[in-house]
Amino acid sequence: MGEMAQKIVKTDTKELVEMLNIAFAEEWLAYYQYWLGAQLITGPMRTSVTEEFLEHANEELKHAQWLCDRILQLGGTPVLDPENWNKTAQCKYDAPENPYVMNLLEQNLIAERCAVARYQKICEMTFGKDFETFRMAEKILKEELEHEQEIGDFKEDIIAGIKNQDKIK
């Protein structure tokens, strides 16, 4: 717990910690959604998509680490029980019941868009009021935007590939 860390924050710390815990739970779910998807994936380009999923999974875990560090600095407690991850998160976990690549890409694209909105919100909450949380949220936002773009690109490439195959036939 950082005494000065809390004193310099010009926003409601309790409300901020609650928001950071929502994001923290969402990051764990995003990590698992990507990681499990990478194990189960079927369909075209699965080797490259698996690599991308594992890379994203590691970044989501890194985001969870940054959020945890900041929650502790602000005197909060990170979600203690994994049972509460889905209850706390507002971007919900989507089980990869259909592991076809296009389906997994779509599920993760929805998750990324939700994450982008989450960090946009945290940036708005902290802008000019809590520089450190703002800096962290801005850094995560940048990565979530990249994730959204990469997943969208894979979707487009696979669709284009399938269309080309049809032409060859």
Which residues are near Fe ion by CB under 5 A?
27, 60, 63, 144, 147
Min dist. Cβ of residue 59 to Fe ion (A):
6
Ranges of H-type helices in 41-130: 46-73, 85-88, 101-126
In the block, which residue shows the tokens 């959020």? 67
Q: Which amino acid is at 25?
A: A
Q: Which lies closer to Fe ion via its Cβ, residue 75 or residue 109?
A: 109
Query: Which CB sits closer to Fe ion, 46 or 56?
Result: 56
The C-alpha atoms of residue 166 and residue 144 are separated, in whole angstroms, by: 33
State which residue, 130 or 144, has the beta carbon closest to Fe ion: 144
Between 6 and 103, whose beta carbon lies closer to Fe ion?
A: 103
Torsion angle defined by CA atoms of residues 141, 78, 92 and 63, in that order, rounded to the nearest 10 degrees: 30
Instruction: Give, in order, the Cα–Cα distances in Å from 32 to each of 37, 82, 92, 124, 163.
Output: 8, 12, 12, 27, 31
Containing H/E element for 137? helix 131-168
Q: At its nearest, how many Å lie between Fe ion and the CB of residue 80? A: 20
Shortest separation between residue 103's beta carbon and Fe ion, angstroms: 18
Tell the smallest beta-carbon distance from residue 139 to Fe ion (Å). 10
